[in-house]
Amino acid sequence: MSTQKTETKKTDLAFGKENYILMLAGLAFIVVGFILMTGGGSNDPNVFSEEIFSFRRITLAPIIVITGFVIEIFAIMKKPKD
């Protein structure tokens, strides 16, 4: 008679819980950054609106989007705790 080893299969995810939380935070930063970039257009195509060159759209929103991408990279590269 042969003896059989009972092995319990543990499904390991690629990332840990903390990694997924960081990924969601990074995604939230990216979405908020793109929302801040919206608007500033003119209803009349013949009228130019200076509102598109506001600090929020030109400086703040891209910084927030880049911060979100940095958080995403960190979340992917971070080693999950065992």
pLDDT at residue 37 in the model: 93
pLDDT at 66 over 90: yes
Identify the residue whose tokens are 């059989």: 4
Give the predicted TM-score (pTM) of the model: 0.78
- The answer to whether 23 and 72 are in contact (CB under 8 A) is yes
For 40, 50, 52, the CA distances from 61, given in Å and listed in that order, are: 13, 17, 12
pLDDT at residue 82 in the model: 62
4-52 pLDDT tens trace: 555 556 667 788 899 999 999 999 999 999 999 998 777 888 888 888 8
Q: Residue ranges of the domains in the chain?
A: 17-77
As a whole number of angstroms, the distance between CA 63 and CA 37 comes to 11
Q: Is 28 left (phi over 0), alpha (psi -120 to 50) or beta?
A: alpha
Nearest to 49 by CA among 39, 38, 41, 57: 41
pLDDT at residue 2 in the model: 56
